[in-house]
Amino acid sequence: MFTINWVFALSMCEGNDYYTIHGLWNNDSWCKAPAFNTTAIEPIEKDLLRAWKSCPRFNHTDKELWEHEWKKHGSCFGMTELEYFNTSVRLWYDFAALCDLFNGGAPNCYIGIHGVPPDEIDF
């Protein structure tokens, strides 16, 4: 029996007062992905610029981080690029406050989910 396991990772960037997305990761990584296409995520780019900022400590632009996360993790979920990033933003709206409440200001917050695909989480 195959169990779906995934982690939603958030980071508190230096100077920020809220957690931003670091990634949505599943059991696999480095799946064969179509090339990262910034045009595919244009409909939600405004949300991404707030929810999925690259922290200065990562030494990447936002788009470089998004490309890395798509290539390494996002393509493994069986979603389109837009679905993956849109799902991640939706999860950020649902879960970021939990990190604020229970993580004590630590720089990273990890939320592990087992058995339910991320695009089927419904609050």
pLDDT interval class at 122 (50, 70, 90):
low
Is the predicted pLDDT of residue 1 greater than 60, yes or no?
no
Q: Name the residue ranges covered by the structural domains of the chain.
A: 12-120
pLDDT in tens, 21-47: 999 988 767 777 788 999 999 999 999
Categorize the per-residue pLDDT at 90 as very low, low, confident or very high, splitting at 50, 70 and 90.
Answer: very high
Indicate the range of 14-28, 57-71, 76-90 predicted with least confidence: 14-28
The CATH H-level (homologous superfamily) assignment of domain 12-120 is Ribonuclease T2-like (3.90.730.10)
SS3 labels along the chain: CCCCEEEEEEEECCCCCCEEEEEEEECCCCCCCCCCCHHHHHHHHHHHHHHCCCCHHHCCCHHHHHHHHHHHCHHHHCCCHHHHHHHHHHHHHHHHHHHHHHCCCCCEEEEEEECCCHHHCCC
Quick one: pLDDT band at residue 2, thresholds 50, 70, 90? very low
Task: Please tell me the predicted confidence (pLDDT) of residue 82.
Answer: 96
Amino acid 6: pLDDT: 86
